[in-house]
Amino acid sequence: MAPTLGNLALWLSLVFAGLQLYNTRKKKKFKIIAISVKGLLISSLFSFFLLIYLHVISDFSVLNVFQNSHTTKPLFYKITAVWGNHEGSMLLWIIVLTIFNYFIFKLYNKKNFIFVSKALEIQSFISLGFIIFTILTSNPFERIVPTQENGLGFNPILQDPALAIHPPLLYIGYVGLSAAFSISVATLALENGEKFPWYIYMKPFVMVSWTFLTIGIALGSLWAYYELGWGGWWFWDPVENASFMPWLLGTALLHSLIIVEKKQSLQAWVLLLSILAFLLSVVGTFLVRSGILTSVHTFALDPTRGVYILLFIAILSGYSLMLFSSKSKIYFTNNYFNFFSKEGAILVNNIIMVVACATVLLGTIYPLLIEALTNNKISIGEPYYNSTVVPIMLPALFIMGVGPILSWGNDSGLRIAKRISPTFLITLLMTIIIFLIYKSYTFLGIAGIIIAFWIIFNNLTILYRNKFSNLTGMVVAHLGVGFLILGITASSIWQVEKIIKMKLKTETEINEYQVIFNKINEVKGANYLALRGDFLIYNKEKKIIAKLQPENRFYPVTGNFTSEASIHTNLFRDLYIVLGEGNINDGWTIRLYYNPLVIWIWIGALTMFLGGIISINKSLRKIIE
C-alpha cells in the first residue's frame, strides 16, 4: 500500500511540475500558478515521508529498503539511510528543489509578476528533469519479489551523526544555486535590462547556498577525519572536488553580487557566474552518479543514468549559455575600478576564486581527458592540488584580510596603512610566538600562519570598532576563514605521525605525551561487536590527562570491519589513536597522530556558517523592503 502511494505521489509531483511549467509559460493567473507550486511541494514531500516511513517500518518488499536497511539498525540510521543511497538521495534532491521553488514563489509581489513567473518556469523545468530521471532510472519505490525476510544492511562507516546530516546540508547548498540559475536565466530571457533589480532577488539564495555548502563540506571533512582513521581531513577526492568547485564559484558570486548592488556594474559577470555555479553542481552529481570515475564515494555504476544526466546538462547548459552569449550585451558596463578600494579587492578575489575553480576542474577531469585521447589511465592526487590550488589561494586570502577595512570608491595608501598598522604588529607578534613554540619552518607554513592571524585580527578589530552593524555577518564569516586557515596550516605542517607495534602494558611517546597501552576488551554495541583498546595518556608532569579507547568494529549483518579512531581534543591539539590489526602475542599495530590546532578548522567553518546565517537574514530584509 505505502509503496504504491509513494510511487503515486512521485508521479503526482511530475504532473504538478509539468503544470507549473505550462502555467508560468502561458502567464496564467497567480491563483493557478499557486496551485501547481503548492501541489508540487506537497506531493514531493509526501513521497519523501513515505520513503522514510517504509524505512522505519522495515518494509523489505521495497528494493531500496531491502538493499540499505536491516531490522537491527538503530532508528536514527534507519531514517538517515533514506538519503544514504542513490535513489533516496535523488528524492531528497527533488524535495529541496521544490522547497526552493516554493521560496521563489513567495517572492511574488505586485511589481514582479512577469519576472518571478519566468524564474518559476525555469525552476519547474529543472524539477521536471530530476523527477523524470528519478522515475525512469532510480525509482526508490521499486518492489522486490518475493518479499525478503531481512535487509542487506547499511554500510557501517556511513552510520554516523555527522554523515547523517551531511547530504541534506550539502543539497541545500547545491540546489540553492538552482534558484540563482533560474533567476539569472529569467533575467537574460526577459531582457528588461538593468532597470529591474534582479540581483536583490538572487542574493538570499546565493547566501543560503554558500552557507549550507560551507557547513555541509565541513561536516563531510569532519567525518572523514574521525571515521576513516587516516588522520587527515581532506583528500582531494573527485567527489570532494565536486562540492568544492560550486563553493568557490559561490564565494565569487556572493562577493560580486555586493558590487552589483552598490555600483550596478559587473552584472554580466554575475549572470554568468550564477549559471556556471549551478551547472557545476549538476556536473558534480553526474561525476558521482554515473560511475565515470572511481572514487571512495562511487555509488553506482550505471551508464544509462549517466547518459540521462548528461543529456539534461546539455539542455540546461546549451540553453542558458546560448542565452548568455546572445543577450548579455546590455548588462555590460564599462566601469573602471580603483585598485585600492573595496571593489578592487573583491574583483581580485573573484578572479582568484574562478582560477582556483578552473584548476580544480582541470585536475578532476584531466584523467578523463587523457583517457579519452590516449586510452591511458592516470590519476591526479594531492600533490597536484597542493602545489597549484594552495598558492593560487594565498593572495586572495591576504587581500581578504584587508578587504573589509577598505572603503568603497577611492582609498589612499596612507589611510589604509594607518588602519591596518595595529593588526600588522599583532600579526607579526603572534606569528613569532607560534613559531617559537613549534620550531619548524616552511614557506607555506609561514605564509599560512601570517595570513591566518592577519585575517583574524583585522576582523576582530572591525568587530570591536563597529559593534553590531550590518557588517556583522560578513565580518564573522571572514573571522571564520581566519580560524580555518590557522587550523589547516598548523595541522598540515606540524602534524606528527607514529605507526608502531605495541604489546599490552607497553608504552610509547608522541610529542610530550606518554602513551600506555593498558587493556584490550571485547565489547558489544547495538549492531556490532568490537575490540576496544584502552590507552592512558600522561603529560609531562606524569598526570593522566585522557583515556583513549579506539575500537575495531565488526558488523555481522554487512560483514564489514571498521575502525573507530579515538581522539582527545582541546583548542591546541588533537591526540588521535587508531587500533590496527594484531593479536595478544605479537601486539597490535597502533597509529598515533599529534594534530596541532586542527579543531580550528571546524570552529572556523562553524563561524563561517554563523556569519552566513546572519547575512541571510539581512539580505532577506532587503527584498521585503
Partner 1 sequence: MKNQFLKLPIIIFFIILFIFFYLLIIDRNPSKVPSALLNKSVPSFNAETLFKNKKFSSSEEFGGQVILVNFFATWCKPCRNEHVFIKRFAEDQNIKVIGINYKDDAEKAIEWLKKLGNPYSSVAIDKNGKIAIDWGVYGIPETFIVNSKGKIKYRHVGAITAKRYKKINQIIKEIE
Query: Should residue 328 be labelled a site residue for partner 1 when binding is judged by CB under 8 A?
Result: yes
Among 129, 306, 401, 473, binds partner 1 (CB under 8 A): 306
Tell me how far the alpha carbon of residue 212 is from its chain's centroid: 7
- The label of the residue with cell 573595496 reads 342
CA-based nearest residue to 258, from 206, 314, 323, 326: 206
Q: What are phi and psi of 593, to 5 degrees?
A: -125, 140
The smaller minimum CB distance to partner 1, of residues 313 and 620, is found at: 313
Q: Mapping DSSP to helix (H, G, I), strand (E, B) and coil, where does residue 580 land?
A: strand
Q: How far apart, in Å, are the Cα atoms of 623 and each of 202, 203, 205, 374?
A: 10, 9, 12, 53
Is 188 near partner 1 (CB under 8 A)?
no
Considering the complex, state which of residue 366 and residue 398 has its C-beta at the smaller distance from partner 1: 366
Residue 147 gets which letter from DSSP? P
Contact 82, 51 (CB under 8 A): yes
Report strand pairing: 573-583 vs 566-569. antiparallel
Select the residue interacting with partner 1 from 194, 237, 261, 371 (CB under 8 A).
371
Contact 456, 424 (CB under 8 A): no
Grid cell of 372 as nine digits: 579519452
Q: Applying CB under 8 A, does 514 fall inside the site for partner 1?
A: no
CA angle (344, 346, 349) in 5-degree steps: 110
Among residues 31, 111, 377, 505, which is the contact residue for partner 1, using CB under 8 A? 377
Neighbours of 6 (CB within 10 A): 24
Single out the segment in contact with partner 1 by CB under 8 A; choices: 8-16, 248-256, 307-315, 519-527.
307-315
What binding mask, one character per residue, do residues 269-288 give for partner 1 by CB under 8 A, x or -?
---x--xx--x---x--x--
Q: Is residue 148 close enough to count as binding partner 1 by CB under 8 A?
A: no
Quick one: CA dihedral 214, 220, 226, 229, positive or negative?
A: negative
User: Least distance in Å: CB of 156 to partner 1?
Assistant: 11
Q: Tell me, residue by residue from 59 to 78, as one string, x for binding to partner 1 by CB under 8 A and - for no binding.
A: --------x-----------
| Closest approach of partner 1 to the CB of residue 503, in Å | 20
Q: Is 413 in the site for partner 1 (CB under 8 A)?
A: no
Plot region of 513 (φ>0 → left; ψ -120 to 50 → alpha; else → beta)? beta
Assess 197 for contact with partner 1 (CB under 8 A): no
Does position 357 bind partner 1 by CB under 8 A? Answer: no
- Does 321 engage in binding with partner 1 (CB under 8 A)? yes
Q: Does 496 bind partner 1 (CB under 8 A)?
A: no
Task: Please tell me the distance from the alpha carbon of residue 187 to that of residue 201, in angstroms, as a whole number.
Answer: 11
Contact between 139 and partner 1 by CB under 8 A: the answer reads: no
369 binds partner 1 (CB under 8 A): yes
Query: Looking at beta carbons only, is 197 or 367 nearer to partner 1?
Result: 367
Which of the ranges 35-43, 370-378, 527-535, 590-598 carries the binding residues for partner 1, by CB under 8 A? 370-378
Residue 27 · residue 117 · CB < 8 Å: yes
- Going by C-alpha positions, the residue among 153, 268, 99 that lies closest to residue 526 is 153
| CA angle (512 as vertex; 506, 513 as ends), nearest 5 | 40
Contacts of 320 (CB under 8 A, 6+ apart): 181, 184, 185, 188, 275, 279
**Choices 326-334, 338-346, 412-420, 443-451 (CB under 8 A): range interacting with partner 1:** 326-334
Taking the least distance from each CB to partner 1, the nearer of 241 and 458 is 241
CA dist 106 and 173 (Å) reads 19
Tell whether residue 45 is a contact of partner 1 (CB under 8 A). no
35 binds partner 1 (CB under 8 A): no
Angle, helix 198-227 to helix 238-263, in steps of 10 degrees: 150
587 touching partner 1, by CB under 8 A: no
266 vs 452, which CB is nearer to partner 1?
266
**Least distance (Å) from partner 1 to the CB of residue 361?**
8
Q: Which positions touch partner 1 (CB under 8 A)? A: 67, 152, 272, 275-276, 279, 283, 286, 290-294, 301, 303, 306-307, 310, 313-314, 317-318, 321-322, 324-326, 328-329, 332, 365, 368-369, 371-372, 377, 558-560
